[in-house]
Amino acid sequence: MSAPEQRVLFPLCRAALAALLLFVGLDAGVVGAHGEKAQEPFLRMRSFLYYDVQWSKTEVQVGEEVVVTGRFRIFEEWPKVLDRPDNAFLNIGIPGPVFVRKSSKLNGVPLFNTTSLEVGRDYEFEIVLKARKPGRHHVHPMVNVESAGPLVGPGQWVEITGDIADFTNTVTTITGETIDLEHHGFANVVTWHIVWVVLGVAWLLYWFRRPMFIPRMVKIQQGDTKGLITGTDYAVGAGFAVVTLALITFGYFRAESLYPTTVPLQTGRTTVEPLPKQPDAVEIEIQEATYRIPGRTVNLTLEITNVSDRAQRIGEFTTANLRFLNTDIVQADPGYPPELIEGGLQIEPAAAIQPGETVVVKISATNPAWETEQLAMLIHDPDSRFGGLLMFYDDEGNRSIAEIGGGLIPTFI
């Protein structure tokens, strides 16, 4: 490349790089949530269907507790590409250690270990969190399933005020000692990190003082390996090995003397029975399910038979944490994320279904969230199937839940 060309090209490259960095800097705003929208629609619609989720508080001080409660139905038509939830763990989805989880319960059973969950059944959870880091944080209930990853529920913003320096997390050990887990053992961790870093750096410096990669590679290619590793090198290597083993032995006996009474990490499983199965109030057959792309509307045509002894009306359709409400029956929960609630569920005919009666019902669920939550991507999948829950209410306000799912066809008119 000639000198004139370099004088022209290099400034252009620098300008292009500066523009790219500026664009990246402008685009790097505050993260709005945890990326749950990036999960495939079939994961959110046909795995864990959360409902009745509540957060006890949305504004807390550092050190105060927030309780997240709710239920989930494990979809009967579990995706074949996912492993069954035979190894599952109740968890919480938060942006780092902004809360400390104090307890987790599933159907009233303390859950510190993995459990096995039954497809098609319902479970009730309770998660107690202690506020740690000030800020505005998105909080989700979540279940981790082996080979399927985290399957998250709806997220609510929780505001934490105060100073993190005031946070304490005290526990009483089995020997009666009270310790603060926020700071306990910190000096010990730092000390051992320094010891091993110093040892590692000393090992590297010993070898870096001599010709390294390319000179050694050339000698090996030429068959001249004599002198690459000297007797001194062997002695130094043996010395480092002895020091390493001595440090490990010292650390082991020191820990044994400081903490003679310990409990090993628990790897057992916890058995949790599902909630009692409620008798079906209705039987549903899907005649047609479409997604109208211009109107961002899911249209369902259902043949519903009332097999209960009381009249039934549709009060809610929920899927992938979105709730479509029939406001004549169900009012929006003020504690639920408002961006996930739509109050205009259209039902035709809207009259109650009488005992023993079979009615063809058309349901329309319209919300821009089909696009903003990236659920409409479902129509691009090779297995374009949806899943959700229909909530029915009788004339006394009793609720029954019916699971629906099937193929979803896109329409453009």
What is the per-residue pLDDT across 46-98, written as a single tens digit (0 to 9) for each?
999 999 999 999 999 999 999 999 999 999 999 988 999 999 999 999 999 99
> Three-state DSSP class for 197?
helix
The beta-strand segments (E) located in 212-293 are: 282-292
* Cross-strand bridge partners of residue 140: 93
DSSP letters along 85-144, please? TTSEEEEEE-SSTTEEEEEEEETTEE--SBB---TT-EEEEEEEEEE-S-EEEEEEEEEE
What is the per-residue pLDDT across 190-224, written as a single tens digit (0 to 9) for each?
999 999 999 999 999 998 887 777 887 888 888 87
Using alpha carbons only, give the angle 353, 53, 337 rounded to the nearest 5 degrees.
Answer: 95
Residue 357 has pLDDT above 60, yes or no: yes
Segment among 15-24, 214-223, 338-347, 382-391 with least mean pLDDT: 15-24
The closest alpha carbon to 80, from 43, 44, 114, belongs to: 43
- In the block, tokens 């009793």 appear at 398
Fold of the 36-174 domain: Jelly Rolls (2.60.120)
Q: What CA–CA distances, in Å, run from 179 to 29, 46, 49, 184, 310?
A: 39, 44, 39, 7, 57
Peptide bond into 134 cis (omega under 30): no
Residue 188: the pLDDT is 94
The amino acid at 58 = T
Residue 156: the pLDDT is 95
Homologous superfamily of the 186-258 domain (CATH): Helix hairpin bin (1.10.287.710)
Fold of the 282-411 domain: Immunoglobulin-like (2.60.40)
Residue 21 has pLDDT above 50, yes or no: no
Domain ranges across the chain? 36-174, 186-258, 282-411
Q: Which residue has the higher pLDDT, 42 or 226?
A: 42
Structure tokens at 321: 């944490």
Confirm if 1 and 8 have CB atoms less than 8 A apart: no
Residue 33: the pLDDT is 52
The amino acid at 350 = A
Paired sense of beta strands 358-366 and 399-407, if any: unpaired
- HSE-CB for 199 with a 13 A CA cutoff: 17
Q: Please provide the average confidence, as pLDDT, over all residues in the chain.
A: 89
